Amino acid sequence: MAVDRDAFTRAGALLRQAMDSWSPVAVLTGAGISAESGVPTFRGPDGLWCGFRPEELATPAAFARHPERVWEWYHWRRRLVLAAMPNAGHRALAALEAVAGDAFTLVTQNVDGLHRLAGSRRLVELHGTLLEARCTRCGRVEPLPPEATGIPRCPACGAMARPNVVWFGESLPADAWARAQRAAETASVFLVIGTSAVVYPAAGLIEIAAASGARVIEVNPEETPLSGLADCVLRERAGVALPALLREAGILDA
């Protein structure tokens, strides 16, 4: 794939401009940013688990019918994530936050905790985290020990716990969505990284940002249904594109 140098130059200039004027910068990430850490994406070739698609496991109906199977999938993914390290893409976003400060929001659809591990703090985890369990009766949230197996029980009331994530067909946590929406509405630059942009309402943030006047930069080796909204498209892996973009913007040393 030929690298479009001109797109990097234009994207770098947009980011530099936003930094110089302390204008808000927002970022939306998806599973693609963690691909280079060895975490499989949902819709990529490694997205199947024991022949099941995520849409057959990450739903309230799947959990009601086969809680042990759904938990087994989450335990597998959690073990995978616990063995993974943030990559150059995660670290570049933490570096961007360190420079942009209060004018920065990172919204992620990922439940793997790798942004936090990389040092990101102005973070909205839209789909929750697979490192915690939530009681199906009293709602108590507990961290999951690394060695957890089977169906965890609530330490307070003894009821069955579920992964503390958002499933297909469920609403996003209202406070997380409000923060994400505000970030999209006010951003002068909106970076979209490693998402197939097909799962709503998260993908709608790209449309909100573009309609509110943000300049949109997409980082993804593949085209997405919302690529047309982007002012600059960087067809490159996040771990390569993000450090290069930050160098272009003068945020990281060349």
Considering only residues 92 to 111 of the shown chain, the ones binding ligand OAD according to CB under 6 A are 109
* Nearer to ligand OAD (CB atom), residue 200 or residue 253: 200
Residue from the set 162, 224, 226, 230 that interacts with ligand OAD by CB under 6 A: 224
For helices 174-186 and 204-211, what crossing angle results, to 10°? 30
Residue from the set 7, 14, 27, 32 that interacts with ligand OAD by CB under 6 A: 32
* Nearer to ligand OAD (CB atom), residue 103 or residue 206: 206
> Among residues 201, 102, 75, 131, which one has the least CA distance to residue 67?
75
**127 carries an active-site annotation:** yes
- 30 touching ligand OAD, by CB under 6 A: yes
- 37 touching ligand OAD, by CB under 6 A: no
Q: Helices (DSSP H) in the chain: which residue ranges?
A: 5-20, 32-35, 60-65, 67-82, 88-100, 114-118, 174-186, 204-211, 238-248
Q: Which residue is nearest to ligand OAD (CB)?
A: 32
* Nearer to ligand OAD (CB atom), residue 36 or residue 97: 36
Q: Dmax of the chain from CA atoms?
A: 59
Q: Whole-angstrom Cα distance, residue 140 to residue 251?
A: 41
In whole angstroms, the minimum distance from the beta carbon of 32 to ligand OAD comes to 2
Stretch that binds ligand OAD, among 31-39, 95-103, 134-142, 152-160 (CB under 6 A): 31-39
Q: Are 96 and 118 in contact (CB under 8 A)?
A: no
Q: Are 41 and 111 in contact (CB under 8 A)?
A: no
Q: Whole-angstrom Cα distance, residue 16 to residue 34?
A: 25
Residues that bind ligand OAD (CB under 6 A): 30-33, 35-36, 41-44, 54, 58, 109, 127, 166, 168, 194-196, 199, 219-222, 224, 237-238
Residues labelled as active-site residues: 127
